[in-house]
Structure 1
Amino acid sequence: MTTKDTVYIALFAALTAALGLIPQITLATGVPITAQSMGIMLAGALLGAKRGGLAIVLFLALVAIGLPLLAGGRGGAGVFFGASGGFLLGFPIGAFVIGFLFDRHAGRPPFLLSLIYVLIGGVGVVYLLGVPWLAQVADLTLGQAFTGSIAFVPGDIIKAVLTVIIAREVRRALPDL
């Protein structure tokens, strides 16, 4: 790990925290709609698997020790045991998967393929962990938890599209990122 890697990891952990300053919208399930999931998408798309995943691990470690970095000023180990805990645990895995898929290409993959990569990691993987966790914690059936989570998908698709637009421009400006 180089100094440059460490700086990028810290930068994207900070970016993810900064995205938490955008006001959240909390639905009936107790899981808030936030811009922070875009941070994990950007970390994976721009930093790759290892650095992107580590950036989000660093972000979550800071949350775990009590820093109020999650949307709404939440922080502390307790947030990992609430309704959104599974989604939070899916964040670094999602960033890693996005980065892994992007790392497979030299240069920039086409827009649609990039969007598919971001949706697989940033939505698919995160929901794969978050929905069962939500069902368990909120005492819901898996179907009820899944149905309740559908409300988040349109916003996640918008964040994924924005991520791809931003990532393509950043990669064009900084091809050695």
Structure 2
Amino acid sequence: MAEQSGDLGRDIARVAVFAALIVVLGTVTIPMPGGVPVTAQTLGVMLAGAVLGPRLAPLSVLLVLLLAAVGLPVLSGGRGGLGVFLGPTAGYLIGWIAGAIVVGLIARSARPSWWRVGLGALVGGILVVYLFGIPVQALVLGVDLGPTAVSSLVFLPGDLLKVVAATVLTVTLRRAYPRAFGTRGSAATRASVRAA
């Protein structure tokens, strides 16, 4: 019982750390036309998925979104409040939840490796987030889906750099501090580090 409560406490701490990381990365923002800024917060979502896995990563994202909903300035550019869930970035924010799950499912599969982390960050952190974000942005701005998707390509180079950064940081963290990945997978994590 004490071990279970210890595991729960560690899980809560890990969720809180990655929620804080997502918030801090929101301070890195470049405004763009169309109301959707370039932000480093998606890097935090990718890292949460890769390190915490599909069960805990969405909790980090949900914590950030809950803090934003109650009005705290935790999103890029110091935004917060219910209004952010009605603006052009709303779909991207909701996409973070699904994206974190997908990153975790791919990156934290049976044999984690650098290419799985990269693939997870690419599919979950870019493709899934765009699949949620672009249609909502088009709807809110009253623009057709095609032009909105084309205009979103301006974000792709930065997002690809975030995939590389998430991959490098995750692999480095796995080697330096495997406990960050949780106690349940620690033996498998150590074995994957030796195999890498």
Residue in structure 2 matched with residue 79 of structure 1 by the alignment: 84
Q: How does 1:40-79 map to 2 (within 5 A)?
A: 40-79=45-84
Partner AA of 1:172 in structure 2: R
Partner AA of 2:22 in structure 1: T
Residue in structure 2 matched with residue 13 of structure 1 by the alignment: 19
Deviation at 1:96, TM superposition (A): 0.9
- Misfit runs of 4+, over 3 Å: none
1:79-107, Cα deviation, whole Å (9 max, x unpaired)? 0110110000101110111011122123x
1:49-74, Cα deviation, whole Å (9 max, x unpaired)? 11111111111110111000111110
Partner AA of 1:49 in structure 2: P
Partner AA of 1:134 in structure 2: Q
Partner AA of 2:140 in structure 1: V
Equivalent position to 1:172, from 175, 190, 194: 175
Residue in structure 1 matched with residue 134 of structure 2 by the alignment: 131
Deviation at 1:6, TM superposition (A): 0.3
5+ residue gaps, structure 2, are 1-6, 182-196
Residue in structure 2 matched with residue 102 of structure 1 by the alignment: 107
5+ residue gaps, structure 1, are none
Partner AA of 1:159 in structure 2: K
| RMSD, matched Cα | 1.1
Asked if 1 retains the 8 angstrom alpha-carbon contact of 2:99 and 2:124, the reply is yes
Deviation at 1:174, TM superposition (A): 2.2
1:10-41, Cα deviation, whole Å (9 max, x unpaired)? 1100010011122x112211100001111100
TM-score with structure 2 setting the length = 0.86
SS in 2 for 1:75: coil
Residue in structure 1 matched with residue 8 of structure 2 by the alignment: 2
User: Greater relative contact order (Cα 8 A, min sep 6): structure 1 or 2?
Assistant: 1
Residue in structure 2 matched with residue 148 of structure 1 by the alignment: 151
SS in 2 for 1:2: helix
Q: How does 1:101-120 map to 2 (within 5 A)?
A: 101-106=106-111, 108-109=112-113, 111-120=114-123
Give the Cα–Cα distance (whole angstroms) in 2 for the partners of residues 43 and 173 of structure 1.
17
Size of the alignment, in residue pairs?
Answer: 174
TM-score with structure 1 setting the length = 0.95
SS in 2 for 1:82: coil
Give the Cα–Cα distance (whole angstroms) in 1 for the partners of residues 46 and 81 of structure 2.
23
